């Protein structure tokens, strides 16, 4: 199952089917965007075996120039995604696909040389390879859920120090 109501937090046990759901959406994205996309990756907690997660499939993709960026925006919007104009992450394109008002997919688009993209991949790979750290992260997520299940912004903000501190260790 995937999908979370707007501004709510739902945590689900890891589901092996999430990878298949990602692969199906990836195929749709690549079919419409073609070679405008340099890389496309499954990120976020649904990409980490064994980790509890909000059942929203997070997808990161990269592009190498403004022309391709503009084509990607147009193409992804045609797949029923909403393009969200952001100010909090400077180099990110952000898209949400909702079904019946619930969020099902988030796409994070970055320039090919983006530090933010690199950090997403480093964080994912580290948790995949360090189960004890993934368990600490899972416990933090459970604690934050108990406090902020009706406020996704606070839940997300509560994870930021853990993520920043881990990235400092990873990128040393």
4-170 architecture in CATH?
2-Layer Sandwich (3.30)
Closest Cα to residue 72, out of 107, 114, 27?
107
Question: pLDDT value at position 99?
Answer: 81
Q: What are phi and psi of 27, to 5 degrees?
A: -60, -45
pLDDT per position as a tens digit, 106-152:
999 999 999 999 999 999 999 999 999 999 999 999 999 999 999 99
- Is the model's pTM score more than 0.85? yes
User: What is the domain partition of the chain in residue ranges?
Assistant: 4-170
């Amino acid at each position: 199952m995937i999908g979370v109501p707007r501004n709510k937090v739902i945590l689900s046990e890891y589901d092996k089917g999430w990878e298949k759901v990602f692969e199906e959406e990836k195929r749709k994205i690549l079919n419409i965007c073609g070679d405008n996309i340099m890389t496309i990756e499954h990120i976020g907690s649904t990409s980490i075996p064994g980790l509890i997660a909000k059942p929203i499939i997070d997808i990161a993709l990269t592009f190498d120039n403004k022309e391709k960026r503009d084509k990607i925006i147009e193409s992804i919007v045609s797949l029923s995604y909403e393009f969200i104009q952001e100010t909090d992450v400077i180099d990110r394109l952000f898209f949400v696909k909702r079904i019946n008002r619930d969020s099902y997919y988030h796409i994070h688009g970055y320039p090919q040389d983006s530090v933010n993209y690199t950090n997403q991949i480093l964080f994912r790979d580290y948790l995949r390879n360090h189960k004890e750290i993934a368990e600490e992260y899972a416990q933090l997520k459970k604690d934050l859920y108990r406090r902020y299940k009706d406020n996704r912004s606070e839940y997300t903000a509560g994870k930021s120090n853990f993520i920043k501190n881990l990235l400092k260790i990873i990128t040393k």
